[in-house]
Amino acid sequence: MRTIARRSLLTAGLTLAASPALAAPAAPWLAYERRLRALLSDPPGGDFDPAFEEALLDLNNLYRRRQGPTPLAWDEGLRLAARAHAADIAVTGVFEHLTREGFSPAGRVGLFARDLVGAPGENIAMRRNAASAVTYDQIMNQWKTSPGHRANLLAPGFTHVGYGVFRQGPRVIAVGAYAEVSARLAGPAPLRVRSTDEIARALSYATPAIRQFSVSEPGGEVLTATYLEDRAARALKPGAWQLRPHLSTGERRYQVAWGPVFVLD
Protein backbone atom coordinates (compact mmCIF):
# COMPACT_ATOMS: atom_id res chain seq x y z
CA MET A 1 0.00 0.00 0.00
CA ARG A 2 1.21 3.47 -0.79
CA THR A 3 -0.60 6.78 -0.38
CA ILE A 4 0.84 9.97 -1.84
CA ALA A 5 0.10 12.84 0.52
CA ARG A 6 -1.29 16.13 -0.68
CA ARG A 7 0.76 19.29 -0.14
CA SER A 8 -0.30 22.90 0.38
CA LEU A 9 1.71 25.85 -0.88
CA LEU A 10 1.11 29.40 0.34
CA THR A 11 1.54 32.21 -2.17
CA ALA A 12 1.98 35.94 -1.81
CA GLY A 13 0.02 37.67 -4.56
CA LEU A 14 1.09 36.04 -7.80
CA THR A 15 4.58 35.11 -6.66
CA LEU A 16 5.42 31.47 -6.02
CA ALA A 17 8.39 30.42 -3.97
CA ALA A 18 9.67 26.90 -4.52
CA SER A 19 12.94 25.04 -4.23
CA PRO A 20 14.83 24.22 -7.42
CA ALA A 21 14.37 20.73 -8.82
CA LEU A 22 16.15 18.62 -11.39
CA ALA A 23 14.52 16.73 -14.23
CA ALA A 24 14.72 12.97 -14.25
CA PRO A 25 16.54 11.52 -17.27
CA ALA A 26 14.05 11.10 -20.11
CA ALA A 27 15.29 7.77 -21.53
CA PRO A 28 14.39 5.56 -18.52
CA TRP A 29 10.87 7.02 -18.32
CA LEU A 30 10.26 6.57 -22.03
CA ALA A 31 11.56 3.00 -21.81
CA TYR A 32 9.35 2.29 -18.78
CA GLU A 33 6.28 3.64 -20.56
CA ARG A 34 7.04 1.50 -23.63
CA ARG A 35 7.56 -1.55 -21.43
CA LEU A 36 4.24 -1.11 -19.68
CA ARG A 37 2.38 -0.45 -22.93
CA ALA A 38 3.84 -3.65 -24.36
CA LEU A 39 2.68 -5.61 -21.29
CA LEU A 40 -0.82 -4.18 -21.64
CA SER A 41 -1.06 -5.19 -25.30
CA ASP A 42 0.63 -8.60 -24.92
CA PRO A 43 0.33 -9.89 -21.33
CA PRO A 44 3.12 -12.35 -20.41
CA GLY A 45 1.89 -15.90 -19.88
CA GLY A 46 -1.57 -14.92 -18.70
CA ASP A 47 -4.33 -12.39 -19.17
CA PHE A 48 -6.27 -9.64 -17.47
CA ASP A 49 -9.61 -10.45 -15.85
CA PRO A 50 -12.19 -7.66 -16.37
CA ALA A 51 -14.93 -9.48 -14.43
CA PHE A 52 -12.63 -9.85 -11.42
CA GLU A 53 -11.74 -6.13 -11.66
CA GLU A 54 -15.39 -5.10 -11.71
CA ALA A 55 -16.14 -7.38 -8.77
CA LEU A 56 -13.41 -5.68 -6.73
CA LEU A 57 -15.03 -2.32 -7.49
CA ASP A 58 -18.42 -3.62 -6.34
CA LEU A 59 -16.96 -5.08 -3.13
CA ASN A 60 -14.98 -1.92 -2.41
CA ASN A 61 -18.06 0.28 -2.81
CA LEU A 62 -20.20 -2.07 -0.70
CA TYR A 63 -17.57 -1.80 2.02
CA ARG A 64 -17.51 2.00 1.72
CA ARG A 65 -21.29 2.27 1.92
CA ARG A 66 -21.30 0.23 5.11
CA GLN A 67 -18.50 2.29 6.66
CA GLY A 68 -19.66 5.75 5.57
CA PRO A 69 -17.48 7.07 2.69
CA THR A 70 -19.13 7.72 -0.67
CA PRO A 71 -18.64 5.09 -3.43
CA LEU A 72 -15.73 5.31 -5.84
CA ALA A 73 -16.22 5.99 -9.54
CA TRP A 74 -14.39 3.92 -12.14
CA ASP A 75 -11.53 5.54 -14.08
CA GLU A 76 -10.08 3.88 -17.16
CA GLY A 77 -6.71 5.62 -16.88
CA LEU A 78 -6.34 4.32 -13.34
CA ARG A 79 -7.21 0.81 -14.55
CA LEU A 80 -4.44 1.01 -17.15
CA ALA A 81 -1.96 2.07 -14.47
CA ALA A 82 -3.12 -0.80 -12.22
CA ARG A 83 -3.03 -3.41 -14.99
CA ALA A 84 0.40 -2.29 -16.14
CA HIS A 85 1.87 -2.66 -12.67
CA ALA A 86 0.21 -6.04 -12.11
CA ALA A 87 1.71 -7.40 -15.33
CA ASP A 88 5.08 -5.83 -14.52
CA ILE A 89 5.10 -7.56 -11.13
CA ALA A 90 4.45 -10.86 -12.92
CA VAL A 91 7.42 -10.32 -15.23
CA THR A 92 9.95 -8.84 -12.81
CA GLY A 93 8.98 -10.75 -9.66
CA VAL A 94 9.25 -7.50 -7.68
CA PHE A 95 6.14 -7.40 -5.49
CA GLU A 96 6.51 -3.81 -4.35
CA HIS A 97 5.04 -0.37 -5.04
CA LEU A 98 8.42 0.86 -6.26
CA THR A 99 10.10 -0.93 -9.14
CA ARG A 100 13.80 -1.78 -9.05
CA GLU A 101 14.40 1.40 -11.04
CA GLY A 102 12.43 3.50 -8.54
CA PHE A 103 9.26 4.10 -10.59
CA SER A 104 6.41 4.93 -8.20
CA PRO A 105 2.60 4.76 -8.10
CA ALA A 106 2.40 8.52 -8.68
CA GLY A 107 4.57 8.13 -11.78
CA ARG A 108 2.45 5.28 -13.17
CA VAL A 109 -0.77 7.22 -12.67
CA GLY A 110 0.93 10.19 -14.32
CA LEU A 111 1.81 8.04 -17.33
CA PHE A 112 -1.62 6.48 -17.88
CA ALA A 113 -4.30 8.75 -16.38
CA ARG A 114 -3.33 11.64 -18.60
CA ASP A 115 -6.34 13.88 -18.00
CA LEU A 116 -6.39 13.41 -14.22
CA VAL A 117 -5.31 15.93 -11.59
CA GLY A 118 -5.41 14.79 -7.96
CA ALA A 119 -3.71 12.67 -5.29
CA PRO A 120 -3.03 8.97 -6.05
CA GLY A 121 -2.63 5.86 -3.90
CA GLU A 122 -2.10 2.15 -4.56
CA ASN A 123 -2.91 -1.31 -3.14
CA ILE A 124 -1.27 -4.52 -4.30
CA ALA A 125 -2.03 -8.17 -3.57
CA MET A 126 -0.79 -11.54 -4.83
CA ARG A 127 -2.35 -14.92 -4.08
CA ARG A 128 -2.19 -18.53 -5.20
CA ASN A 129 -4.44 -21.19 -3.68
CA ALA A 130 -3.31 -24.79 -3.35
CA ALA A 131 -6.55 -26.43 -4.48
CA SER A 132 -8.92 -23.80 -5.84
CA ALA A 133 -9.07 -20.68 -7.94
CA VAL A 134 -8.40 -17.34 -6.26
CA THR A 135 -11.60 -15.32 -5.73
CA TYR A 136 -12.19 -11.58 -5.51
CA ASP A 137 -13.47 -12.01 -1.94
CA GLN A 138 -10.09 -13.42 -0.92
CA ILE A 139 -8.21 -10.49 -2.44
CA MET A 140 -10.54 -7.93 -0.87
CA ASN A 141 -10.28 -9.64 2.51
CA GLN A 142 -6.48 -9.49 2.33
CA TRP A 143 -6.73 -5.72 1.94
CA LYS A 144 -9.40 -5.32 4.62
CA THR A 145 -7.22 -7.06 7.21
CA SER A 146 -4.17 -4.89 6.47
CA PRO A 147 -4.39 -1.43 8.11
CA GLY A 148 -2.63 0.43 5.32
CA HIS A 149 -4.56 -1.25 2.53
CA ARG A 150 -7.85 -0.82 4.40
CA ALA A 151 -7.10 2.90 4.73
CA ASN A 152 -7.00 3.18 0.93
CA LEU A 153 -10.23 1.20 0.54
CA LEU A 154 -12.02 3.60 2.89
CA ALA A 155 -10.14 6.89 2.37
CA PRO A 156 -12.87 9.56 2.33
CA GLY A 157 -10.84 11.78 0.01
CA PHE A 158 -10.53 9.21 -2.77
CA THR A 159 -13.15 9.64 -5.49
CA HIS A 160 -12.03 7.28 -8.28
CA VAL A 161 -10.39 3.88 -8.69
CA GLY A 162 -9.19 1.49 -11.35
CA TYR A 163 -8.44 -2.16 -10.62
CA GLY A 164 -6.04 -4.31 -12.60
CA VAL A 165 -6.15 -8.08 -12.15
CA PHE A 166 -3.66 -10.34 -13.91
CA ARG A 167 -4.16 -14.11 -13.91
CA GLN A 168 -1.06 -16.16 -14.60
CA GLY A 169 -2.01 -19.81 -14.21
CA PRO A 170 -3.33 -20.30 -10.66
CA ARG A 171 -1.70 -17.08 -9.46
CA VAL A 172 -3.57 -13.77 -9.26
CA ILE A 173 -1.88 -10.38 -9.00
CA ALA A 174 -4.26 -7.53 -8.18
CA VAL A 175 -3.53 -3.81 -8.09
CA GLY A 176 -5.85 -1.00 -7.05
CA ALA A 177 -4.99 2.51 -8.27
CA TYR A 178 -6.95 5.12 -6.29
CA ALA A 179 -7.14 8.88 -6.70
CA GLU A 180 -8.71 11.95 -5.26
CA VAL A 181 -9.65 13.57 -8.57
CA SER A 182 -9.60 17.33 -8.04
CA ALA A 183 -9.70 18.43 -11.69
CA ARG A 184 -9.86 17.08 -15.22
CA LEU A 185 -8.06 18.29 -18.30
CA ALA A 186 -10.11 18.74 -21.46
CA GLY A 187 -8.25 15.83 -23.03
CA PRO A 188 -5.19 13.61 -22.49
CA ALA A 189 -1.99 15.61 -22.04
CA PRO A 190 0.80 14.83 -24.53
CA LEU A 191 3.62 12.69 -23.20
CA ARG A 192 6.31 14.51 -25.16
CA VAL A 193 6.45 18.30 -25.35
CA ARG A 194 8.94 20.86 -26.62
CA SER A 195 8.23 23.75 -24.24
CA THR A 196 6.44 24.72 -21.04
CA ASP A 197 3.96 26.59 -23.26
CA GLU A 198 2.68 23.21 -24.45
CA ILE A 199 2.16 22.17 -20.85
CA ALA A 200 0.25 25.38 -20.15
CA ARG A 201 -1.96 24.75 -23.18
CA ALA A 202 -2.84 21.30 -21.85
CA LEU A 203 -4.19 23.04 -18.75
CA SER A 204 -6.09 25.74 -20.63
CA TYR A 205 -9.49 24.07 -20.48
CA ALA A 206 -9.22 22.17 -17.20
CA THR A 207 -12.30 21.86 -15.00
CA PRO A 208 -12.09 23.57 -12.56
CA ALA A 209 -9.71 26.14 -14.03
CA ILE A 210 -5.99 25.77 -13.29
CA ARG A 211 -4.14 29.06 -13.52
CA GLN A 212 -0.73 28.11 -12.22
CA PHE A 213 1.42 25.06 -11.81
CA SER A 214 4.80 23.76 -10.75
CA VAL A 215 6.64 20.64 -11.82
CA SER A 216 8.67 18.05 -9.96
CA GLU A 217 10.73 15.02 -10.81
CA PRO A 218 8.12 12.28 -11.41
CA GLY A 219 6.93 11.08 -8.02
CA GLY A 220 9.11 13.68 -6.29
CA GLU A 221 8.28 16.29 -3.69
CA VAL A 222 10.69 19.10 -4.61
CA LEU A 223 8.88 21.70 -6.73
CA THR A 224 10.04 24.07 -9.43
CA ALA A 225 7.75 27.03 -10.19
CA THR A 226 7.29 27.26 -13.95
CA TYR A 227 4.08 29.02 -14.83
CA LEU A 228 1.76 31.72 -13.57
CA GLU A 229 -1.23 33.08 -15.45
CA ASP A 230 -0.25 36.22 -17.38
CA ARG A 231 3.46 35.64 -16.80
CA ALA A 232 6.12 34.06 -18.97
CA ALA A 233 6.97 30.48 -18.12
CA ARG A 234 10.37 29.69 -16.65
CA ALA A 235 12.50 27.59 -18.97
CA LEU A 236 12.91 23.96 -17.97
CA LYS A 237 15.77 21.62 -18.65
CA PRO A 238 15.05 18.65 -20.92
CA GLY A 239 14.03 15.46 -19.15
CA ALA A 240 11.08 13.80 -17.44
CA TRP A 241 8.86 15.96 -15.24
CA GLN A 242 5.54 15.57 -13.47
CA LEU A 243 2.93 18.28 -13.67
CA ARG A 244 2.00 19.69 -10.24
CA PRO A 245 -1.09 21.92 -10.71
CA HIS A 246 -2.03 24.41 -8.00
CA LEU A 247 -5.69 24.20 -7.04
CA SER A 248 -7.15 27.13 -5.13
CA THR A 249 -8.45 26.28 -1.65
CA GLY A 250 -8.98 29.86 -0.50
CA GLU A 251 -7.44 33.29 -0.66
CA ARG A 252 -3.72 32.97 -1.49
CA ARG A 253 -3.77 29.28 -0.60
CA TYR A 254 -3.30 26.40 -3.00
CA GLN A 255 -3.28 22.63 -2.87
CA VAL A 256 -0.43 21.22 -4.96
CA ALA A 257 -1.88 18.23 -6.78
CA TRP A 258 -0.43 15.54 -9.07
CA GLY A 259 -0.91 15.51 -12.82
CA PRO A 260 0.49 13.78 -15.92
CA VAL A 261 4.13 12.93 -16.44
CA PHE A 262 5.67 14.51 -19.53
CA VAL A 263 9.02 14.43 -21.28
CA LEU A 264 10.52 17.72 -22.40
CA ASP A 265 12.69 17.22 -25.48
Task: Give me the pLDDT at residue 226, please.
Answer: 73
pLDDT in tens, 40-78: 999 989 999 999 999 999 999 999 999 999 999 999 999
Q: Note the pLDDT of residue 59.
A: 98
Q: CB-based contacts of 123: which residues, under 8 Å, 6+ apart?
A: 1, 143, 149, 152, 153, 174, 175, 176, 178
pLDDT confidence of residue 168: 94
Check residues 152 and 247 and name the one with the higher pLDDT. Answer: 152
- Residue 156: how many other CB atoms lie within 10 Å: 11
pLDDT tops 80 at residue 13: no
Q: Residue 229: is its pLDDT beyond 80?
A: no
Pick 224 or 125 by higher pLDDT: 125
Whether 229 and 212 have beta carbons less than 8 Å apart is answered as yes
**What is the 8-class DSSP label of residue 14?**
T
Residue 78 neighbours by CB under 8 Å, 6+ apart:
109, 112, 113, 116, 120, 160, 161, 162, 177, 178, 179
Does the pLDDT value for residue 36 go beyond 70?
yes
Residue 23 has pLDDT above 90, yes or no: no
One-letter amino acid for residue 152 of the chain: N
Taking only the tens place, the pLDDT of each residue in 93-150 is 999 999 999 999 999 999 999 999 999 999 999 999 999 999 999 999 999 999 999 9
CA distance 222 to 236: 14
CB-based burial of residue 204 (10 Å sphere; 0-12 exposed, 13-18 middle, 19+ buried)? exposed
Distance CA 251, CA 171 (A): 51
234 confidence band (pLDDT: 50, 70, 90): low
Residue 232 has pLDDT above 70, yes or no: no
